[in-house]
Copies of this chain bind each other. A is one copy, B any other.
Amino acid sequence: MFKNNSGAFIGVDLGGTNVRVGLFLEDGQILNWQQDEILAVRGPQAGLQKIYRLIESVLVGANQPLAGIGIGSTGPIDRLRGCIQNPYTLPGWEDVDIVSPLREKYKVPIAFENDADSAALGEYWMGAGQGKERVMMVTFGTGIGTGLVLNGKIYRGVDGAHPEGGHILIDPNGPECYCGARGCWESLASGPAIAAYAQQLPFQEGSYIAQHSGSDPQEITAALIFAGDRDGDQTCVHIVDRAAQHIGLGLVSLMMVTLPDCIVLGGGVMRSFERMKPRINAIIEKHHVIIPAKKVRLEMAALGQQAGIYGAAKAAINLFEEQ
């Protein structure tokens, strides 16, 4: 598609809270990176100015010409039109064309991806999924996002749309989700879902949850529950067991459909992976009957908060390699 790919590549990870920008060489070496709060409510123009500043900043001292820019953005996005469509995590940014301004300013090819896809591509490129033919990444955070990388390329659905593996069905009697389902994975195993379940449980005066939330349900977070679980509080242990059960069941359904070489696990909820691991593994082993479920490696994400900038940069590099 593009011919001249000598030089350095920018990866932009645009989230609802922070924007990160990194500078990379084609071999995966990171030269520089920076982050800042996006402060989305100030609007897309202010956000774009911030992205420009971060780009200029990471380019300082780079003695390589800029060859391409990749953006991984919090979804939903319209990848083909280059537009952010998201009034949820980036309020006021509905239908914002982010690709054209960057292309006009820097005169380089721009890749534009959903952030779950760019994180997956980053982990495939330089993280936990290196060298694997089929890499599924699942990020358990505010939501549950999935990205599938097949032979080094992001898997895309009909008309290039991004699949949402975080919304597979887990329990038809579960909580309602904005996706149209009851009891989809995100409604049961994301951070807010774990907190929501805890908030509606009766809790006793003097219990761990009561003490640490000041008996205010709004103060009950997934992080508080995981801390209580480590502390041995029985209610918290129950909530974490239940979350692990839902996480394991969802991983099995993903395996049934895609049977990847590895599933890379990321996001805040996975900071408590070690605690949930025995239960998750027990569920997976139970399903080894008709698919080789035990062959699917579970790997913790290796790039942490940098997965997005790695993947966005790699998406830009891939523009030169595709077709």
A residues with a Cβ closer than 8 A to B are: 76, 134, 146, 148, 150, 156-159, 161-173, 178-181, 184, 249-250, 252-261, 286-292, 295-296
Contacts and interface: CB of A to CB of B under 8 A. Distances in A.
Given A163-B256, A169-B169, A253-B168, A287 B179 contact: yes
Contacts of A287: 167, 179-181
B180 A249 contact: no
Contacts of A257: 146, 148, 163, 165, 168, 253-254, 257-258
A167 B290 contact: yes
Contacts of A165: 256-257
A295 B184 CA distance: 21
B290 A158 contact: no
Contacts of A150: 150
Contact of A291 (B164, B258, B296): B164
5 contacts: A157-B259, A163-B256, A167-B290, A169-B169, A171-B173
B291 A181 contact: no
Given A162-B259, A254-B257, A258-B258, 14 more contacts: A157-B292, A158-B260, A158-B292, A161-B291, A168-B256, A169-B250, A170-B172, A171-B171, A171-B172, A178-B289, A180-B286, A180-B287, A181-B252, A253-B253
Copies of this chain: 2
Given A163-B259, A180-B288, A157 B134 contact: yes
Contacts of A289: 178-180
Given A290-B76, A290-B167, A291-B163, A158 B253 contact: no
A179 B252 CA distance: 11
A137 B256 CA distance: 14
Contact of A158 (B157, B159, B259): B259
A179 B134 CA distance: 23
Max chain B C-beta neighbours (<10 A), residue from A166, A168, A292: A168
A157 B181 CA distance: 28
A90 to B, nearest CB: 16
B171 A168 contact: no
A194 B265 CA distance: 36
A252 to B, nearest CB: 7
A134 B134 CA distance: 16
B249 A158 contact: no
A245 to B, nearest CB: 8
A146 B256 CA distance: 10
Given A180-B289, A286-B180, A287-B181, A252 B157 contact: no
Contacts of A163: 255-259, 291
A178 B169 CA distance: 20
